[in-house]
Structures are given as C-alpha cells and as structure tokens.
Structure 1
Amino acid sequence: MMRILVAFRPVIAALTPSKGARNILLASSMAWVLTGCGDAAPSALTQTAERGDLVHRVTAAGEIVSAEATRLSLQPGNLHTIDWVIEDGSEVKMGDVVAKLNGEIASFQYNTNKLNVERESSRGVADSSDFAKRDVEIDYDLQVVEDEVQLIETFSSDLDTVYSRIEQIDNGRDLAYTQARGNYLEWDRDSNGERRSSKERLTQIQVERFERDANRFQALLAQTEIRAPHDGVVKLLRSSRSGEPVTSGSVEWGGTAIAEMPDLSQLVGEVHVLAGDSAGIVVGTPVDLQLDAYPEATLTGTVTSIAQLAAQRENRRGKWFTIKVGLDTIPAEIVGRINLSFQASFNVANASDVLQIPLTALQQENGLNIAYVNNGGARERRELQLGLRTLSRVEVISGLNEGDEVIILP
C-alpha cells in the first residue's frame, strides 16, 4: 500500500493546475488509489459530477472618471512651446486662460513668409520686365527684317542685263534667308509671350503659397492663449513627446491635446484588468465597487464597454484591457469628484446548486464539448452543453447526470 502511494505522488503533483483544484484532485486521487487496492485498478483519474455553488469573481483596481470631457488642443501646423500652464486640477470659469504659448517660432515663420512674398513679387516684376524687354527687341528685329526684305525685293532683278546668273542666285538666297529669319522672330515673339504667362502664373502660385503660410502663422500669433470653453476643472494630460505630464516649458506638436475638462455631472468607473484575468467579463457583467477613501460607501454598476485590444500600461507588466463601468447610483460623497480610487469586483459567475465538473475533464472535438465517463471500466463518450465557467470548473447543462465519474484528461 505504501508503494502505491509513493508511486502516485508525482502524478498528483503534476495534475494539480491550481490551488483552487488541488484539494479536489488530491481527494480524487486518493479515492482512486484506495479503490484500486484490489486486483484491478482504473487506468485514469476520475472525478464525480456533483451539484454545488459556482462562483467566480475578478478583482481589479480602478478610479472614478468623467464619461465625457472637452479636450483642449494646440493649433495644428506648428511646433509649440508652452510658456505657462495652469496647475492640474484647478477650477476655472469659461474664458479663463488655461495655457500660454510662446509665439517666437510663429513670429519668425510669419516674418519669413512675408519676406518670401515680397521676394517673389519683386522677382515677378523683374521677370516681367525682362520679357517686355525681349518683346521690344523682337519687334525691332522684325522691323529690320521687313526693311531688308523690302530692299531686296526693290533692287533685285531677274534680267541678265542687270545681274549675272550668280548674282541673281545670291539675291534669291538673301531673300529666303531674311524671310526665314522673320518667321523665326515671329515664333520667338509668340513663344516669349507663352513663357511670360507661365512664369507669371508660377510666381502667382508661389506668392499665394507664402501668403497662405503667413496668414496661418499670423492666426497662431493671435491664439497664443488657450482659454477654457466652459466652467469646470482642468486635468492636464501627458505629453505625446516625453510621456510626462504637460508643464511649463513643454514642447508639443501642433494638434496635440494638452488638457481636458471633464463633465463632472457624468461619472463612470474606469478599470484596468490584465488580459489573462479578463476571461468571462462582458458588457453587462455586474460589478461591485469599494471606494478607498470611503470604505462605508459601496457602489454597484455594470460593464458598459471593453477596449477592443489589450495595451501596455506605464510601469506595469503585461497587457491590460480598459473597462468602463456604469454606476447605478452616485453617493453624495463623490458627486462632482473624479480620480477617486476603488477596488472593483466583477461577478463573472454566480450560480447555486448547479451540476459541475473540472475543466480538465473537457476536450473539443469538431467544435463540440466532449467528456468521457467511466462506465464500469469502459470509456463512454458524452456530448455536453455547458453554462457558466470559472478558472477551474464549468457548469454542465446537459449530457451528464449527478454522480457520473468523468475522466480527468492527462
């Protein structure tokens, strides 16, 4: 008998998945050993399907936050230096200054673009003058060509008594060359006009671009103060560049939200749950909340939303789901208050007198939940319909009867 117990000790240790199931498996193993002291011993561990309470809770820390908040963002299109920002958690009235921005960069960019506008405008005037000068030169050359053609036609003759045959050929060549030169000058005049129009259009585009940038930076100069859009409390956010809370001297990209003003009339709970502990938590799961600052105040609520993806948290290992909890009632102690910490207990499973078996007795076959029952030493396959489950046990709705011995999978 002692040899049997020693032989099964490593088996029991290897098949103990958690503290919650340790006693049950140990008792089952001992029962198996004791019932196997005869000539024939069963070939696998079994446990009896029995009725009982099935309770599973997930606990996590959270805090009271606002369901909605107005974000205060920097104007896009520039890098901003914050000269001054209000203290975190300060109460403000509509129109109060929340932050002041340094306008040196915007001022430099504005002046630079204004100079570019003047430079491009001056360059356009100079280019226009050059094209006009070229038009005058072409007109003068065309007049010369016209005079030369007239002279050639006036003094040329096809009579052999006036010019020799060679002189007549030279006169014809001079006339053809002069006419061709005139055609080229007319083409050059048309081409100069097209080049002038293209250059003027390009200059206009450049001037409009610099003027647009100058107007944008002028608008930034007029908005170096960020003011509260309504009454409320200002909560400073973390810098997207440094990861630290926004402070005086922070340098932020345009469009970055530096603070938000939560709506204190709409409070919810925000809880971060490790991805490995989140199984079973769905929208509608009941939650009990215990405030750290007010232990006597117990809140109840339900899960209203769960983040689609688990994400890293600062100074925390693992990945976490962000879960929002809608509160059934808000005690007077926390009305209009946020950032109050609490401990949340998610009631994932809570059923009484249900038939249940260990999860280690289940397996999947073609999408079906299967368990094998020890039926007089033979393995009998059963298809199960399951209900609630915890980390170690699962409710069986159909497929088993109370007292059935399910085989624990190796």
Structure 2
Amino acid sequence: MNTRFRDTSEQDRPLATRSRRWPVLVIAGVAIAAAIALLGGGRVKQMLSADAAVSAARLNIAAVDIGPLTRDVAGEGRVVAAQSPTLFAPGAGTVTLVVRAGDPVKQGQVLARVDSPELTNRLAQERSQVDALRADLARAEVEARQQSAALQSAFENARIDQQTAQNDLARQTQAFEAGATARMQVERAQDALAKAKLALDQAAGLRGLKTDSLRLDVQAKQSALARQQLLAADLERQVTELAVRSPVDGQVGQLFIADRTNVARDAKLLSVIDLSALEVQMQVAESFARELQPGMPGEISGNGQQWRGLVSSVSPEVVNGEVAARLRFDGKQPEQLRQNQRLSVRVLLDRRDKVLGVARGSFVDEGGGSHAYVVRGGHAEKVAVKLGVRSLDRVEVISGLAVGDRVVISGAENFKGAERVLIAD
C-alpha cells in the first residue's frame, strides 16, 4: 500500500507574464511629442490659426512692383473702303447694267441705265406745257402793249382837248373884254375847259390802273412759265439720272440685281469701292469702346509689315457687346491691299512709365476687385485694396498694397472667402 502525500501542486496556477514593451512605447511617445514641440510647433500653431489650407501648386502668385503700364486694345481687323457708296435706282423701270462686278471705273462713268417710260412721258408733257405757257406769256405781253398804246392815245387826246378848251377860253375872254362877244360865250368856254380837265384826269387814272393790271397779268403768266420750267428741269434731271454714274474712282463691288431687271424707285443696284482710301475696321469690347476716341494712335500689321494708324471713327451702336471702330493709315497708304483682307490691329489707349501695380489675374474680377490675398509667413491674408486702370497684363494699385507684397493673382477662389488661409507646400 502506497501512501501518497498531498502537496500544493494542485492549488498553484500559472500567472501571465507581464509585457515589458509598454515602458518603451511610453518613452517613444514622449520623445515624438518632444520632437514635434521642438521642430514643428510653429507649423502646428499655423495650422491651428488658419481658416483653411490650400496647396501652393493651385495658386499663382505675383509681386507688387513699380513699372510701366500700357493700356491698349488689340484684335483682328479687316480692310474696308473709307468710301463705298451704294447706288440706287432713281426711278422705276428696267435696268440695263453696263459693268460687271470687279470692273475698274472712273468718276462719272455710266454704270447702269434705267429705262423709265413714265418719266420720259411726263417730261414730254411738261415740256409741251412750257411751250404753251410761253405762248400765253407772249400773247399777254402783246395785248398789254396794245392796250397801253390805246390808253396812252386816249390820254394824249384828253390832254389835247384840254389844251384846245383852254385856248378857246382865252380867245373868248379876250373878245369879251373887247366887246366883240357876249359873256355867255366866255362861260361856255369855261365849262368846256372844266370838262376837258376832268376827261384828262380820268384818262390819266385809267391809264395807270390799266397799266398796273396788265403788268400783273404779265407777271402771273411769267411766274406760271417759270414754275413750269422748274418742273420740266427737275424731270430732265431725273431722266438724266436714269444713267447711273460712278461717284468716285474705284471698282465695282457687289451687284444687287441681275441685268434687265424691272425695279422700283430707290431699289439697290450696285456698290462702288473707292480703293484709293482704305481703312481697317475692328470689333472692340464695349468696356474698351468707351475710351476710344478719334485720333488715338494705333498699329496695323500684316503681310510681314507694320504701319502706323489713327482711329478715324467709333460707331455709336453696340452689337452683341461690341463696337465697330475704324483706323486709317497715318501716311501713305500701303499698296496691294484687298477689300476684307485680315490684318492685326492694336490701339494704344494710355501709357505711363512708373505705376505701382501687379500682374493682372482673376482676383481683379473677384469681388469687384475690392480685396486681394497677400502671402505673408506661409499664410494668405485677405486685405482690402483699391485698384485703378487695367491693361491686358497689368493692373494699377491705388491703395492696400506696397512694393514687394506677394499677391495671389489667381486661384483665390479656392479660399472661399476665408480671412486667413494656410498655403501648404
């Protein structure tokens, strides 16, 4: 019989061995925190103080400096004739074209003829009326002379009768004083003289009134004849203008009708291009057009050459947000230019040598150009600015920025209006 002694082996439990790594982890964490505090504490502070963070690769930054600022308008223009009159039908009728498109013409040369039977017949009628009125005037003048002669004869007879009566009265008076005749004879001679004087006065008055009446009648017929002559002359002018002539030396441009076409009065017939005076027309944005003025200098280039130009006119009409402006050549007109030929055009609006400014970017249009983001110490800070004149590549700074300031000129839309933005490398 084996006797077994009880011991404590069944009561003991193995205990889990504690890991000895946790002190290492604690020490490492403390070391990392210390390193961050020593090396990157400022950066963390910046991140915590900024409203947002944007990568520098998404931004375009330019420095504020003092330099020249040139404001100009550049674009493409086309050659047009300074004078390109369009000719219209002077009357209704059938048009016969004498020239073709592209033909060279001289001033006064017949380009087309309009056959208008209506105008021709009216002219013949009015000329006939002129002849009739001229005959009436001649008849009135003859009649006036006849009546004037008759009135003058009556006046002279009355004057002679007065003189006879006056002489008879003198004889009767002398005979009465000599006792050779009765007083009654003297009184009869006095009455005869009074009647003769009255007849003379009436003849003189009638002659004056009738002469005035005849003169007015002749003047009326003269006025009628002159009026009719003017009417006939106007019709002659219209018939003469049925031969459409070139107003300038140049070249036939576009034909708006076919030959032997029946047209109405004032219908478009053709255009003539004066190639001796060419201009370049360009389309300018409405915002720049307000500053364009006739006489401004410009540059015209094409075919490997460059010419000086001057703004000759600016259209008062805006079409699709653009205004048509024309430049003429300053000096001798270049040769071998063609209608509608494309040329490059540049108009100088303003030039200043020393202007505080910065490169132009999208920040000019954002918020109306009232603020900009200035890069300082790794941050972009929003500051209020006032901008002045603007060119294609530069904008004037009136206030809010100084020389050397670095401005975010594009990409600021990523800031979403934040006051302070961290710029990450």
**Normalised by the size of structure 1, how large is the TM-score?**
0.52
Where does residue 143 of structure 1 map in the other structure? 157
Per-residue CA shift, 1:137-187, capped at 9, x if unaligned? 4324753675588479759978796649xx94x875664244123123124
Question: Gaps (5+ residues) in structure 1?
Answer: 1-30, 38-47, 239-246, 290-296, 363-381
Where does residue 263 of structure 2 map in the other structure? 249
- Give the alignment partner of residue 310 of structure 2, picking from 298, 304, 307: 304
Where does residue 338 of structure 1 map in the other structure? 339
Which protein shows a greater Rg? 2
Indicate the percent of aligned positions where both proteins have the same amino acid: 15
Where does residue 64 of structure 1 map in the other structure? 79
What amino acid is the match of 1:122? A
Instruction: Give SS of 1:285's match.
Output: strand
**Structure 1 residues 221 and 266: CA distance shift in structure 2, 3 A:** closer
Within 1, Cα distance between the matches of 2:310 and 2:82? 11
Map 1:285-324 → 2, pairs under 5 A: 285-286=298-299, 301-307=307-313, 310-312=315-317, 316-317=319-320, 320-324=323-327
Where does residue 137 of structure 2 map in the other structure? 124
**Structure 1 residues 288 and 345: CA distance shift in structure 2, 3 A:** farther
What amino acid is the match of 1:259? S
Q: Is the 8 A contact 1:237 1:260 kept in 2?
A: no
Where does residue 83 of structure 1 map in the other structure? 95
Within 1, Cα distance between the matches of 2:94 and 2:395? 57
Where does residue 260 of structure 1 map in the other structure? 272
Per-residue CA shift, 1:295-347, capped at 9, x if unaligned? xx77755542241x53237xx3567342226499999xx94531245675657
Per-residue CA shift, 1:68-94, capped at 9, x if unaligned? 66x58689xx76767245788432466
What amino acid is the match of 2:310? T
Instruction: Give SS of 2:266's match.
Output: strand
Q: Is the 8 A contact 1:107 1:221 kept in 2?
A: yes
Instruction: State the 1:353 CA deviation.
Output: 11
**Structure 1 residues 181 and 393: CA distance shift in structure 2, 3 A:** farther
Q: Does 1:101 align with 2:114?
A: yes
The number of equivalent residue pairs is 318
**Structure 1 residues 135 and 227: CA distance shift in structure 2, 3 A:** closer
Per-residue CA shift, 1:192-215, capped at 9, x if unaligned? 445545654664565456446545
**Structure 1 residues 102 and 149: CA distance shift in structure 2, 3 A:** same
Instruction: Give SS of 1:338's match.
Output: coil
Q: Is the 8 A contact 1:312 1:318 kept in 2?
A: no
**Structure 1 residues 298 and 267: CA distance shift in structure 2, 3 A:** farther
Within 2, Cα distance between the matches of 1:216 and 1:342? 47
Q: Is the 8 A contact 1:113 1:213 kept in 2?
A: yes
Per-residue CA shift, 1:39-81, capped at 9, x if unaligned? xxxxxxxxx9813996866465642224566x58689xx7676
Instruction: State the 1:234 CA deviation.
Output: 0.7
Where does residue 194 of structure 2 map in the other structure? 176
**Normalised by the size of structure 2, how large is the TM-score?**
0.51
- Give the alignment partner of residue 206 of structure 2, picking from 165, 181, 188: 188
